[in-house]
A and B are shown apart, each in its own frame.
Chain A
Amino acid sequence: MTAGCQAPAGGVSLDGVDLAKESVIQGVVTRSGDVPVAGAYVRLLDAIGEFTAEVPTNDQGEFRFFAAPGQWTLRTLAPRAAPVDQAVVAKQGVVAAVAVSIGS
């Protein structure tokens, strides 16, 4: 069965994934410094700012993408917060970890 296109909250698990072939971007969205934000929407924008994927955060505020090597932008939308953009570089075989902090 073909894998679908809908991201589970937090992103697809790394179980069984050959990380050497992937360029993973993952992270945690927090509010007020260290409170994880569940149900935020993190979108991955490419080098020209075009939408590439979107994942809702899980209860731990986590998200994950499987990108290609290069420059990307994460745009985070959450209730009662202004959108936040954050640049990130993905490399094959490396998990790029990003901390996203939204308004207080």
Chain B
Amino acid sequence: MSRENVLVSANWVEQHLDDPQVVLVEVDEDTTAYDKNHIKNAVRLDWKSDLQDPVRRDFVNKEQFEALLSAKGIGHDDIVVLYGGNNNWFAAYAYWYFKLYGHDDVRLLDGGRKIWELESRELVDDLTERTPTEYRASDPDLAIRAFRDEVVGAIGTKNLVDVRSPDEYAGRLLAPAHLPQEQAQRGGHIPTAQNIPWSKAANDDGTFRSDDDLRTLYGQAGVDLDTDTIAYCRIGERSAHTWFVLHELLGVSNVKNYDGSWTEYGSLVGVPIAVGDEPGAA
């Protein structure tokens, strides 16, 4: 795995806007962003209504994923290029889904929608029509997804990386600060988890830092990447960004994303919680 296979530049996207092998996919929660405008020929995925089961708290299953991608006109051999707002948080989350269900060639637009806008590149409001396909997904690859029991067992034994902001880690904030702070779950972090905010892996314009910078970041934080690593945040999308950095850019194979994240962990009865700026003891 290397950067060239998983990350494309805005220039590359501009050169492939009409490439029949390439499907551009915008991933947003705020669907008004796509409705207002989007990159030419891009289709939309809504991380919540498209990628989450409408009843159970879980992903869409394999059959639901197949139906979704078929309806969007995405083929298994297509090169899928994901981009979105919020520094590609949800694009990275969707990327992780595509990998979980075995899509071969999926890439992120480095910098996402933000760099496209900041560079004043063309956005259109035409509806994108694609011919439906018969998409076939693989069984989910659980080597990249962590569940709560494994996370509780990882306290003091595996690398836990909390990628939220320092104030959320410490328990001073319960959500990213663009959201109201009244939340059901407790504040704090999983004991022994290190706080390496996702944002340290990105530049202000949303592009990823260099591989050397990224290795230095995790090295200086004392994360031994030979040990299994589980990344988490609040709902699993910022940690998908960090999972992308570790697993896809740096090629570290033993990394999982805990998508239940703090929303689940901070609501569990009886599990230990650490508050404040220090990781805390096992």
Chain A residues with CB under 8 Å of chain B are 1-9, 11-12, 17-18, 21-23, 39, 41, 43-44, 46, 48, 50-56, 64-68, 75, 77-80, 83
How many chain B residues touch A (Cβ–Cβ < 8 Å)? 42
Least Cβ–Cβ distance between B183 and chain A, in angstroms? 8
Inter-chain contacts of B233 with A (CB < 8 A): 5
Stretch from B13-21, B100-108, B116-124, B131-139 that touches the partner:
B116-124
Is B178 within 8 A of A65, CB to CB? yes
Inter-subunit contact A79/B166 (CB<8 Å): no
Chain A residues within an 8 Å CB radius of B205: 77
Known contacts A6-B85, A50-B199; A79/B177 CB under 8 A: no
Separation of A44 and B180 alpha carbons in the complex (Å): 14
CA distance A41 to B85 in the complex (A): 10
Q: Is A56 in contact with B85, judged by CB distance below 8 angstroms?
A: yes
Which residue on chain B has the smallest CB distance to residue A18?
A: B182
Q: Please, how many angstroms separate the alpha-carbon atoms of A66 and B174 in the complex?
A: 10
Interface residues of B, dominant DSSP: loop
Given the interface pairs A50-B165, A50-B199, the reply to whether A4 lies near B29 with Cβ below 8 Å is yes
A2, B90: Cβ atoms closer than 8 Å = no
CA distance A43 to B90 in the complex (A): 18
Q: Is the interface of A mostly helix, strand, loop or mixed?
A: loop
Q: Is the CB of A77 within 8 A of B177?
A: no
Would you mind naming 11 contact pairs between A and B with Cβ atoms under 8 Å apart? Answer: A5-B175, A5-B176, A5-B179, A5-B238, A21-B182, A46-B165, A50-B199, A52-B165, A53-B178, A68-B173, A78-B118
- In the complex, which residues of chain B have a beta carbon less than 8 angstroms from the beta carbon of A21? 181-182
Contact A66 B181 (CB under 8 A): yes
**A-B pairs with the 4 shortest C-beta distances?**
A51-B199, A6-B29, A53-B177, A4-B29
Q: Which residue of A lies closest to B52 (CB)?
A: A1
Name the one of B173, B180, B204 contacting A52, with C-beta atoms under 8 angstroms: B173
Q: Residue B235 contacts which of A4, A44, A46, A52 (CB distance < 8 angstroms)? A: A4
Once the chains are docked, how many angstroms separate the CA of A87 from the CA of B86? 22
B228 within 8 A of A: no
Chain A residue, CB-CB nearest to B120: A79
What B residues does A80 contact at CB under 8 A? 120
Determine the chain A residues whose CB is within 8 A of the CB of B166 once the complex forms. 46, 48, 50, 52
Partner of A66, one of B118, B180, B204, B234: B180
Residues in chain B near residue A12, CB distance under 8 A: 178-180
Kindly report which residue of chain B lies nearest to residue A80, judged by CB atoms.
Answer: B120
Contact B178–A9 (Cβ < 8 Å): no
* Nearest-Cβ distance from residue B207 to partner chain A, whole angstroms: 12
Per a CB cutoff under 8 Å, which of A23, A53, A83 touches B165? A53
Assess whether A6 is in contact with B28, with CB atoms less than 8 Å apart. Answer: yes
Which one of B85, B120, B177 contacts A44 once the chains associate, using CB atoms below 8 Å? Answer: B177
A79, B165: Cβ atoms closer than 8 Å: no
B48 near A4: Cβ-Cβ < 8 Å: yes
Please determine whether B119 and A79 come into contact, CB atoms closer than 8 angstroms: yes
